[in-house]
């Protein structure tokens, strides 16, 4: 299993997520983040805004996928998020924990185990 972390421009998040709707994902999380990469020396072009000399807003999309599907997911993200300009973002591909080491909070069982039947109160 792979963990794919994509840092993208905020206005492209919906397009990226739309491109992943039918993708074979195990799980996905999205959060707003701030940071900078190579464009840090270009921060002066944002002068006058609240981000002058500060971090730039980005969105982090974290995905967990099977090893065999990782390249497909990366291609989908790049196809949508790439503008060809500095600051498009980054994609990090990391080995993920074994499925057996992921615990479902509700049932307190490994995520690969069948979910426990719960009765509604």
pLDDT digits (tens, 9 = 90+) for 31-70: 999 887 766 545 555 555 544 556 788 999 999 999 999 9
Model confidence pTM above 0.85: no
Query: What share of the chain in percent tops pLDDT 70?
Result: 74
Predicted pLDDT at 15: 96
Specify if 73 maps to a domain: yes
Domain at 54, CATH number: 3.30.70.120
Burial class (CB in 10 A: 0-12, 13-18, 19+), 63: buried
Integer Cα distance of 97 and 109 in angstroms: 15
Specify if 120 maps to a domain: no
Tell me which residue range forms the domain holding 20: 2-110
Residue 115 predicted with pLDDT over 60: no
Report the number of distinct structural domains present in the chain: 1
């Amino acid at each position: 299993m792979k963990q794919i972390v994509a840092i993208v421009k905020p206005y492209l998040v919906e397009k990226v997520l739309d491109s992943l709707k039918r993708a074979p994902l195990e799980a996905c999380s999205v959060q707003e983040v701030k940071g900078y990469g190579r464009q840090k020396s270009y921060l002066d072009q944002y002068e006058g805004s609240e981000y002058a000399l500060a971090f730039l807003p980005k969105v982090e999309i974290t995905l967990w996928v099977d090893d065999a599907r990782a390249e497909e997911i990366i291609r989908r993200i790049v196809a949508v998020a790439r503008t060809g300009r500095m600051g498009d973002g980054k994609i990090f591909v990391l080995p993920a924990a074994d499925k057996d080491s992921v615990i479902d909070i509700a049932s307190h069982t490994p995520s690969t185990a069948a979910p426990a039947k719960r009765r509604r109160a």
